């Protein structure tokens, strides 16, 4: 636990305006140019817009149904995308979320709340675990992959919960930052 506080503190020392602006630019450009193309390529290869990565709640059975609907070429595409595009995307949102939360919470004293800058790292870790386990299911289909098929929805749920919490902390940290800035202004 101490090493997490050390890492959190290191982020507070390293992240400034330039980092936040760079993270915001990369995030926006990725959202505008890369995500739509990736979604369209996925839809063309799999024949559907449905994907376990985009679902918050689903079951192992649903994962098998998606694998079946993709067909062999769709499953091959899905696996390749998890180890190309879907390695970069978590790093992009991690960079954005961790940078923004860190920057805006910088002025806080309680260390527990300041550790919120680590939430996006959890989201990215569970995103990678989701990708690995879903890819194992896709690669072995039509054979069953019980452990991976049961864990994939759990990883997805935790991933999305941490990502949603991170975006919540972006908003909360902005409100806190604005409040602290307003408090520092001398009365007129």
Summarize pLDDT for 75-99 with one digit per residue, the tens: 999 999 999 999 999 999 999 999 9
Contact 30, 117 (CB under 8 A): no
Listed range (19-23, 36-40, 109-113) with the worst mean pLDDT? 109-113
Mean pLDDT confidence for 10-37: 97
**Does pTM surpass 0.75?**
yes
Mean pLDDT confidence for 50-77: 96
Domain ranges of the chain: 52-175
Residues 6+ apart with CB under 8 A from 66: 48, 50, 51, 52
């Amino acid at each position: 636990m101490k090493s997490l506080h050390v890492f959190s503190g290191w982020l507070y020392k390293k992240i400034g305006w330039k980092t936040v602006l760079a993270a915001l630019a990369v995030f926006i450009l990725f959202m505008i140019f890369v995500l739509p193309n990736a979604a369209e390529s996925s839809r063309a290869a799999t024949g559907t817009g449905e994907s376990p990565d985009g679902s918050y709640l689903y079951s192992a059975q649903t994962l098998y149904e998606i694998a079946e609907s993709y067909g062999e070429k769709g499953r091959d595409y899905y696996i390749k995308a998890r180890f190309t595009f879907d390695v970069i995307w978590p790093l992009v949102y991690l960079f954005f979320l961790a940078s923004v939360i860190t920057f805006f919470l910088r002025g806080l004293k309680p260390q527990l709340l300041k550790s919120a800058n680590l939430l996006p790292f959890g989201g990215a870790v569970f995103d990678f675990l989701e990708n690995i386990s879903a890819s194992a299911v896709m690669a072995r289909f039509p054979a069953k992959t019980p452990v991976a098929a049961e864990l994939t929805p759990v990883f997805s749920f935790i991933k999305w919960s941490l990502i949603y919490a991170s975006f919540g902390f972006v908003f909360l940290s902005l409100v806190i930052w604005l409040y602290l800035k307003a408090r520092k202004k001398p009365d007129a």
